[in-house]
Structure formats: structure tokens, C-alpha cells
A and B are shown apart, each in its own frame.
Chain A
Amino acid sequence: MAAHLSYGRVNLNVLREAVRRELREFLDKCAGSKAIVWDEYLTGPFGLIAQYSLLKEHEVEKMFTLKGSRLPPADVKNIIFFVRPRLELMDIIAENVLSEDRRGPTRDFHILFVPRRSLLCEQRLKDLGVLGSFIHREEYSLDLIPFDGDLLSMESEGAFKDCYLEGDQTSLYHAAKGMMTLQALYGTIPQIFGKGECARQVANMMIRMKREFTGSQNSIFPVFDNLLLIDRNVDLLTPLATQLTYEGLIDEIYGIQNSYVKLPPEKFAPKKQGDGGKELPTEAKKLQLNSAEELYAEIRDKNFNAVGSVLSKKAKIISAAFEERHNAKTVGEIKQFVSQLPHMQAARGSLANHTSIAELIKDVTTSEDFFDKLTVEQEFMSGIDTDKVNNYIEDCIAQKHPLIKVLRLVCLQSVCNSGLKQKVLDYYKREILQTYGYEHILTLHNLEKAGLLKPQTGARNSYPTIRKTLRLWMDDVNEQNPTDISYVYSGYAPLSVRLAQLLSRPGWRSIEEVLRILPGPHFEERQPLPTGLQKKRQPGENRVTLIFFLGGVTFAEIAALRFLSQLEDGGTEYVIATTKLMNGTSWIEALMEKPF
């Protein structure tokens, strides 16, 4: 089914199968035909777990989106609500149930809470007088969703905002629960490392939960050697910079949602189709992007500047392969050729798609404005002129470039200068408010609260120390054949990934001083294993580290970690988990407040 999930060092299909089984079991509990009423936010993540065919096999005949008033008519025995535990959704459900036509055939109602049942929500349903209407009220603990062979995400949009703006750590609780599920399937992780306040919290919850489960001793041999929990808060810089890997740029420009991207259709118009080709398709081209596609797996993590040569090389190989048909003389040879044809055609389709995408991206990256923006970003990250008002940012505001772009740049400057001088900060803020509207003062307050934007307080700028010690800026970057993770940002090595790299070798003790400058505690916990489960590592066998980004991770960081996994003498392979796959734009957007 999802073969690409089992390619990696850890077979994540095990997790996918486990959650699919849980879903089937629930559906079978509600005997007879059914309709599912969806909390719209869940449909994307669910798509990665179960296609419609699975639901259909279990007698799901209709699907609706959750909205107020009466449910659409459906001749089914069961109505099942798939919802997140949110009070406002409970109100809608109650409205649905109460406006049910009493003259019609009676239908059974059920609720499936994702990922957790909530007493608060059930109380609300009770207050609204409908709690008794539900036969099954259960939870579906879909915390970590497998996206790829080495990638898991909770797809919880508000995680960073909730933790740092609202002080609501619900998502951390879910993260800890997710880790418990993972450990139940892949064994207890013997060592936990972490950096940051949220990381500490999650580790505490995990240790606590382990105590709760003492009844069931885990006797699975551990697949992961250690877990590294990293707070987004520790590295606010990386997501603000423009990602320069292929996948990163697709995400920056078009936005990847639940592994799908929607692209402008013009470049994908069918060619050589005679007259039919005249009409351009108007609907966006939707493509799924994951390592199931061979070509994509090869180029996704490359610096975009190295993608073109791979594509042209591939093009030559494929056309050569098609030419082979002229050499096929005997029936046997022709048969062999034909048998390879589907694979070759798929490869050709894939190549055509990615050539089109690369062209689309190139249009952007070769634009002057992209170049200017990148120059400013790189200046900031390498420590040039971070302490005064930047001309380019000023011009962007004056020309009313998208607000998020401006905010990303100002925040980047602030982070690279350990906060801005009060005068500089006030100037930017005033310019933004006058140009984009005073209502954005709420957004600015949010950014300040999250630490993305701040006045420099007394102490000197600590970024240069961090940059030098962690070697965050590399002048001699090789984009084609990289030797260091800095290739993913053409010079800047993502701080978060550098921390992971240094933990694996030579250990964090070497960077104690910098760790103290970065926010939040750093720690190490051991989860004792019975002697029989302790791993005897074969010589040359790599360690497997699960790295969990609390508050989101970018595709460029993922690419950097994959680069480290592939290093011959790296010694560590990474599986990545996160609360949300994000980029600077989606991150800032989640922190913005639009009062009207």
C-alpha cells in the first residue's frame, strides 16, 4: 500500500497499519451502513492513513463536511462525527443532532474524537442535552501521522502559537502521547536528550506516562537508540530564512499541504494533442510529493541549483531507454522492452512534471527581487549590518510587498542581532502600521511575545558567538556535491540540525557555553532497559535517532538531516517527527491576528 514508508531504517508502515487497524475496528463497532461527518481540518491528515476505499469496505456510504443546522439526507443507519475535541465543534454537532427529522427513520449517532476524547467537550454535549444521543463516543489517537519513510508529523497547526503565546500545552501532551504510541510499537527509547522548555515538558510527561503504564512491560527490542527533543523556540532563525532546496522552494512558493501541492496548470497542459491542446486547463494541477516517486526522492533534498543537471541527465537516460526499442530485434527482446514500458512511462511522466515545476521555480529564483531578498537574508545571517534600518526592507514596505515577507525579514534581522535597537525596532513597527494598517499592532505584539521580534536588552549581541561556535555560516558552500548541511540554505547551516549533529559527535559537552545562551534547559534522561533488551550494536552499525521538533520543522531542515543520515561515516541515521511541517510564511501567518 504505502511502500515508501518502509524504505527507511525504521519501518513506519508498522505505525500506519496500527492506526488503520484501529480505524477499522471502530468502524466495525457501528454495524451497518454509515455516513461520516468530517471536521474539515481532519480530511487532509486522514487521507494519508486511509483512502476512501478503506472506508467504503466498512460500509461508509456518504461523507459530509461538518456545518451547522440540519444534516444532509442520507439513507444510512449510522452517522459518525469525526472531530477534533473543540467546544465550537460540539455546538455544531449538537445543532445537527437536535435538528434531526424525527419523522424520518431513526439513525444512530457516534463520535470519534481525534486524537483524544475530552471531558470538557462531553460536558458541553451534556449541557446541550445531546450527550445521550451518542452510542459510541471514542477516541482515535492519531497523533503522529507517517508522511514518509523517515518523517512523522502531528499536523497540529497551532502548536507553536498555543505553547508560546497562549501558554496552552495541549499539543505537548499529544506529542508525549504520540511518543508513547511509538514506543509501544518500536520499543522503549533508552536515551532522551532535549533542549528547550517545551522539550523538558514533553520528556517529563513521557517519564510520567511510562510510570502509568508499568502494568504492561514493553518487551520489544528498541529500534531507536535515542530521542532528541528540540524546541522551535531554541532556533527561531532557521524557518525565517528562505529554503533553497528543491522541496523547500516548492513549499516556499506554492505551499505543500499534507504532501500535496497545487500548481498553476499552464505548464502542465498536455502537449502534442492536436486541437485539444488549445484550451488551457483552469483547475490547479495537484501533485502528491513523496519518496514513492523515484525521481522526487532523488532531487527533493538537493539545492535547487543542483536540480537542473540531474533533470537533464535523467532526460538523456530516459530517451536513450526509449530508443532501445529500435535495437529490440527478437521477440524476446521486444517482450522485455514492453515489460519495462510502464516503468519507463511513469519515469517519463515524473520527469515531465518535475521539469515543469523546476521551470516555475526558476522563474521566481531568477527574479531580481528574489535575489535582493536572498542577499539581505544572507547578510543578516552572516552578521553584516544587522543593527541598523535596512534599505531593502524599507523599500519593501514602501512598495507594500506582502506583509508576511516584510515580517519574516524584520524578524530575521531581530534574531540575528539578539533583538533590535529600540529606535530601529520602533521605526520598523511604525512603518508597518502606517503602511499596512494599525490593526497589525496585535500581530506585532504576538511576534514580540514569541520572541521573534524584540528590543535589544542591555546585554551584547550573542548571535555572533553562536554563529561562530556552531559554524552557522559557511563561506565555501558546495551546492552541487555538498560536504556540509549549510548547502540547504546556500551558506547557512540550520542551527537546530547543527545541534543534532554536534550531539551525535562529539557530544554536547563541547558546546556547553552556547547551549547556555540558547533559551531553555538542555538535559539528558535515561529510560532503563532490562538487560535482555539492551542492544549489542554490530560494528559499523549506525545509531538511529528520533528527532522531534516541537513547534514545527522546515523541509530544508529535513533535507539537512537526511544529508547527515547518508554520510558514510556519519554514524547516525535520523527519523524526524514534528508537530507541524511548516515554513517561515505559514509560521508567521499562524502568529498573525486579523481582527477584521
Chain B
Amino acid sequence: MDWDLKEELRDCLVAAAPYGGPIALLRNPWRKEKAASVRPMLEIYSASGVPLVSLLWKSGPVVSMGWSAEEELLCVQEDGAVLVYGLHGDFRRHFSMGNEVLQNRVLDARIFHTELGSGVAILTGAHRFTLSANVGDLKLRRMPEVPGALTKLRFVLDEDSYLVPELDGVRIFSRNTHEFLHEVPVTSEEIFKIASMAPGALLLEAQKEYEKESQKADEYLREIQELGQLTQAVQQCIEAAGHEHRPDMQKSLLRAASFGKCFLDRFPPDSFVRMCQDLRVLNAIRDYHIGIPLTYSQLVLRRLYPLAIQICEYLRLPEVQQKDVSDEDVARAINQKLGDTPGVSYSDIAARAYGCGRTELAIKLLEYEPRSGEQVPLLLKMKRSKLALSKAIESGDTDLVFTVLLHLKNELNRGDFFMTLRNQPMALSLYRQFCKHQELETLKDLYNQDDNHQELGSFHLRASYAAEERIEGRVAALQIAADAFYKAKNEFAAKATEDQMRLLRLQRRLEDELGGQFLDLSLHDTVTTLIVGGHNKRAEQLSRDFRIPDKRLWWLKLTALADLEDWEELEKFSKSKKSPIGYLPFVEICMKQHNKYEAKKYASRVGPEQKVKALLLVGDVAQAADVAIEHRSEAELSLVLSHCTGASDGATADKIQRARTQAQKK
């Protein structure tokens, strides 16, 4: 032990924190010095006896001390007041254990730990218990009953010593030493027992021989393998390494494990890897200067969480004194100590730093937090919304981004909010999505801010359909859209939108003048409706105004007239000039209406390229064959042949076959 005690331990109040934590001493307790002429000293040491702090006790007489799970020192005074100090002797707060305690004074007190946290139990002068199960959330409970006899255990040691219960053993410290007494774990016993034949022991032996380049290594190994216990042997060595405090012993056990692993085909490596990592942490903190002698079982139970706090607090120590050390350096130092150790929560450490008013340090620490779900809410709490936004974006979690966005929206004025969005394209598009469904007006403002005329155009286009009922309103919305498209240099869209306005107005007029339904028909359908209604002149006019290409107009008329079954008009139309779409469509459409008679009229006018097809359509297989033979087209010949299905087509089929053989001869 490094400490230099002036007093005997028995003259002090002693409190040692569990999990190898610090030790607090309060010298000159009041029960010794009847008249408190000298103010006592409160001293806190690390487990290796390095002094952390010492301060003059200025409050009332203390009956008992103890450490909470958060490593706060609780000092219970005679009057029932409990004073809370931090690891470095900083006063945190105080609370009272109630009136009953105040009146009857404290006879004895104990600090205890439960799942809820740390509690205080007090035995008052009236032999009644008062307790609070969690000092963080104070609720006093009084127990009516008076206790019976107490059982005591006593150890006799060389010097005055003090015992600290740990979950797997007992720590004994005195003026000079600090020892740990515990039951030897089964695995360690099996390996190190004299003449042990446990697989782990054999493996350790084998490895030692191997290093000596002795062939005995092979013998040992064979023995284990013959028993089929190699896996078990490796596991034993790994586990035993965890129970060793001396690094050299750890090393040789791990080396043995690693040696054994080479002979195993599929041994999951994680237990080995984790043990190495854990031991590194343990060895680091057991280091004399840090002095937290944790055992492996304790480490496992703690899930490393308090460790993180301790390391954090340890590292803050130099920084409190030296103001010139930047937050960044501290954060980096903490990161170097912890690395990416599984289970270390940087956000927890950061939350604690923030709780101590070290916001900048907390932010720097959060840089190391990989879980954005933890990182972002804390940043929001610290009012670092913009940083929270970029972190949320980095994570890809869009829900998180939305959450920050809505937060920002309430926090910032509209202008600033929009500017923030402008610099974050991903957030901006998400917010646009949100507005599309929730706040259409804001969407428009966003496009306006970015001078996004193309999208503004589309926006007003949509509005003309969705929001406007009256023609005037629709046309007005379209006009805004067209203007926006011009600004976007999208001339095509602008022109199309103007055409649409023109069409709408026209349709309105048609409805007024002709009756019937025209609004919202396409241009094509409007013309068709006019033809079907017999308004050929207007149809012509419309198609000229909108420059409908000739080819499509022919298709349009053809379809409309065939639908009307106005065969006379169709024929007149077909002769109005040379058809730009040929005459096959005429044949097809007549056949579709089951009018073979009309179809045949047009079949004769079909050009040579499609003649065969047309003839087949009207069912004239024989003539189709003649044309195909004349064309000497193999494709056409087989097409006709595939149509020779009727009984009367036999002759035609033969004719084609003859033509084919003749063609092949040539």
C-alpha cells in the first residue's frame, strides 16, 4: 500500500467501495475524542493507497460512511443527515433521513446495494430501522420491529486490517498490504493442482514442452486428443487465464489455449478474443497507478459500465487541475483507453460529462459513439441540433432525421430552418416528402427558396388538377405553371401547358355550344368525340390548330368511323387522298368489326409488302399463296402455309411446297 497513515485504522471510519473501488478514511472519529477539539480529516485513496483527496471535515459527527453504486461517498451524520461527496471530495448534495431519526439520533447506519441502486439503512436510538432503498430517489420507510441479536465474524490478522466484501471473495487491506482472498476457481484448481491430469493441465504442459522443442509436446497433445477433450482443454485454459492476476501467468495460459486451437478444426474464436480484450482492460486498471484490482468475475458482472465511468473520472482528474488541456485531448485520451471495447457506451460517458457541465467534452466524446440512436437524442438535449442533424443523416436512419428536423423546425425561425435544410440535401428531400403529404404550402416555399422553377411548375400543375374546381382557377394555375417552366428553360413543358390551357377553354366552349362531355378528355379523344358526334368541320379545325400529325389523324378517323360503322364515310375518307398509314389498317379494322365485305375492298389497295398479310386476313389463302410465290419470300411462304388449315387448302399447300423445292433447286 502506498499510503502513509498517521493513525491506526481502528481509529478511523473506513469505507471501501466494492469492485475494487476507492477507500475513504475519516480520521479522529468523535467516539474517540470526547471533545472534538481538532476537526477530523476526510481522505480518499485508490485501492492501491494512492491519495486522491483530503479535506477538512466541517460538518457534524459522522456515524457511518459508504459508497453508492455511482461511486459517491455517503456520510451518515448522527442527526440523520446524509452528505454526498464525489470521488474527488467534491460536495454534491445532502439529504435527511427524517424527523424520527433527528429526534432519536443514529445508532448505526449501513449503505447497501440493490437492483434499484444504493440505499441507506439506519438504526435509531429508539431501536427502530429507517431505510431508503435508493438514495437517488428518496423514499423513507420505517420498520417497526426491533432487531434481535447480531452475529459477528472475526478474523485475526497480523496487523489492524479492514475487510471489504466483494462478490467473489474478500479484500483485506491494512497499513502495508492489500490482499484478495477468494476461493480458487474450479478451472484454475484443475490446471494447477499438483499432478493434475485435467485436459487443461495437459495442454499447458504440452505447450511448455513445445516451446522447449521437446517431443513430449506431441505425447501430451495426443493424450488429450485421444480422450477427445481438446476443445475442453482450450476452454479451460482460456477461463483460467481470466482468473489469474499476473500477466505472465495469463500469457502462458493463453498461449497454451492458442496452441491447442491450432489442432481444432472449428473452434469459435470469440471466447478467446474476448478474454484477451478483457484481460487487457483488467491489467490496465489493475496497474498500480490506477489501482482498481478487479477480478474477472467482477468485470463480467459489472458489464464494464462502471469501468467506463471510472476511467472517465480518472482521466478527468489531470484536466481539472490543468485548464490548458483541451476537451479534444481528453476525449481522445478516453478513446485511446477504451477503444471500441464491446459494451462501452460513449453516450453514457458523454451524458455524465454533460451532467458535470462539460458540454464540449460530451460532444467530443459523442464523436466516438457509433450508435446514432444514442448519440442524436443526447445532442438534441444539449441543444446541438445542427450537429444532431448531420449525425442523423450519417446514420441513414430517416426516422431519426425527421425527428431532428421537427425539433429544428420548432427551435429555429423559418429563415434559419430553411437555410439549414439548404446545406443538407438529404434532409431537404426528406422534408419535402413530408411537406408533400402534410404541408403543401411549405413545399412551395421550399421550391421558391431554391429557385427550383421546374418543380414549381409541376407543383402548380398538380394544383390545377387537385385544388381547383372552376375552369378559370384551373387555367390560372396552369398559367403560373407555364411561367415557371419558362423560367426553368423548359420550353417544351411551358408550351405543352399553354396547349392544355387552350384545350381546356376550347372544351368548355364545346360543352356550351354542343352539349355533352368534353372537359378533361385528351386532345385525341376530343377530336374523336367530335367525329363520332358528326362535327367533322370542328374536328378538322381542332386537329389543324393543334397540329396533329397526319398519320395519327388517319388512325384516329379510321377508328372513329369504324366504331360508328359508317362504312360509306370510311370509304370516302380512304379515297380523300393517299393514305399515310397504308391500307392494311383499314382491312384490319373492318375485320375487327366482322365486315369481310368492306375489308376486301381495302385488301386490294394494300401495298405489295403487306399484301400477303391482308389477303390472309380476309381469308383468301389461295391468292395469298400466289403473291408469296411471286415475291419468292420464304417467310411469306411459311406464313401462308401456316394458314392452310381448311380442307380446301390442300391444293394451295402443295403449290407452296412445289414453289419451295423449285426455289431450293436454284
Contact = CB atoms under 8 A, between A and B. Distances in A.
Contact of B437 (A87, A219, A531): A87
Nearest to A210: B370
B86 interface: no
Interface in B203-249: none
A312 B496 CA distance: 55
A87 to B, nearest CB: 7
Nearest to B369: A212
A123 B406 contact: yes
Interface centre among A221, A400, A426, A533 (most CB of B within 10 A): A400
Interface stretch (B261-269, B311-319, B653-661): B261-269
A170 interface: yes
B403 A123 contact: yes
A1 interface: no
Interface string B273-284: 110000000000
A78 to B, nearest CB: 26
Interface centre among A211, A221, A398, A442 (most CB of B within 10 A): A398
Interface in A279-319: none
Nearest to A113: B399
Given A217-B273, A595-B465, A88 B437 contact: yes
A170 B521 CA distance: 38
A350 to B, nearest CB: 31
Contacts of B461: 439, 441-442, 595
B552 A394 contact: yes
B492 A429 contact: yes
Interface in B580-616: 581
B396 A441 contact: no
A173 interface: yes
A531 B273 CA distance: 10
Interface string A582-596: 000000000001011
B164 to A, nearest CB: 30
A55 to B, nearest CB: 27
Interface in B347-392: 370-372
A173 to B, nearest CB: 5
Interface string A395-439: 101111000000000000000000000000010011101111111
Given A119-B402, A217-B270, A433 B496 contact: yes
Interface string B312-343: 00000000000000000000000000001011
A169 B395 CA distance: 11
Contacts of A221: 266
Interface stretch (B170-178, B497-505, B531-539): B497-505
B523 A596 contact: no
Nearest to B268: A219
A214 B370 contact: yes
Contacts of B340: 211, 214
Nearest to A162: B433
A595 B466 contact: yes
A30 to B, nearest CB: 24
Contacts of B261: 532
A391 B588 CA distance: 17
B432 A166 contact: yes
Contact of A169 (B342, B394, B398, B432): B398
A434 B548 contact: yes
A534 to B, nearest CB: 9
A215 interface: yes
Interface stretch (B68-76, B189-197, B423-431): B423-431
Interface string A540-564: 0000000000000000000000000
B525 to A, nearest CB: 8
Contact count band on A: 35 or more
A435 B525 CA distance: 7
A591 to B, nearest CB: 14
A350 B546 CA distance: 55
B496 A430 contact: yes
A205 interface: yes
Contact count band on B: 35 or more
Contacts of B522: 433-438
A533 B108 CA distance: 57
B403 A398 contact: no
Contacts of A166: 429, 432-433
B370 to A, nearest CB: 4
A595 B406 CA distance: 28
Contact of A219 (B269, B433, B434): B269
Contacts, number: 149
Nearest to A205: B396
A354 interface: no
A168 B399 contact: no
B501 to A, nearest CB: 9
B399 A438 contact: no
Contacts of B266: 221, 532
Nearest to B500: A438
Contacts of B458: 442, 445
A596 B548 contact: no
Interface centre among B272, B398, B406 (most CB of A within 10 A): B398
B113 interface: no
B398 A173 contact: yes
A119 B399 contact: yes
Nearest to B553: A398
Contacts of B270: 217, 219, 530
A167 B430 contact: yes
Contacts of B273: 217, 530
A439 B396 CA distance: 34
B493 A431 contact: no
B436 to A, nearest CB: 8
Given A120-B403, A214-B342, A398 B556 contact: yes
Interface in A436-459: 436-439, 441-442, 445
A166 B425 CA distance: 11
B462 interface: yes
A395 B581 CA distance: 9
A593 B492 CA distance: 19
Interface centre among A118, A219, A441 (most CB of B within 10 A): A441
Given A395-B555, A445-B458, A167 B465 contact: no
A168 B430 contact: yes
A201 interface: yes
A244 interface: no
B597 to A, nearest CB: 22
A398 B398 contact: no
Interface in A181-233: 201, 204-205, 208, 211-212, 214-217, 219, 221
A118 B399 contact: yes
Interface in B492-548: 492-493, 496-497, 499-500, 503, 520-524, 546, 548
A439 B465 contact: yes
Nearest to A120: B402
B492 A167 contact: no
A453 to B, nearest CB: 12
B425 A167 contact: yes
Nearest to B397: A173
A335 to B, nearest CB: 47
Nearest to A218: B270
A309 B183 CA distance: 78
A397 B554 CA distance: 12
B31 interface: no
A366 B396 CA distance: 48
A85 interface: yes
Contact of A435 (B394, B396, B465, B552): B552
Contacts of B426: 167, 169
Given A162-B433, A166-B433, 14 more contacts: A85-B399, A119-B399, A119-B402, A120-B402, A120-B403, A168-B398, A208-B394, A212-B371, A215-B342, A217-B342, A435-B523, A439-B465, A530-B269, A532-B268
A-B pairs with the 9 shortest C-beta distances? Answer: A167-B429, A532-B269, A398-B555, A595-B465, A530-B269, A438-B500, A437-B522, A211-B370, A435-B524
11 contacts: A167-B430, A169-B426, A173-B397, A214-B340, A214-B370, A397-B552, A438-B497, A442-B461, A530-B269, A595-B465, A596-B520
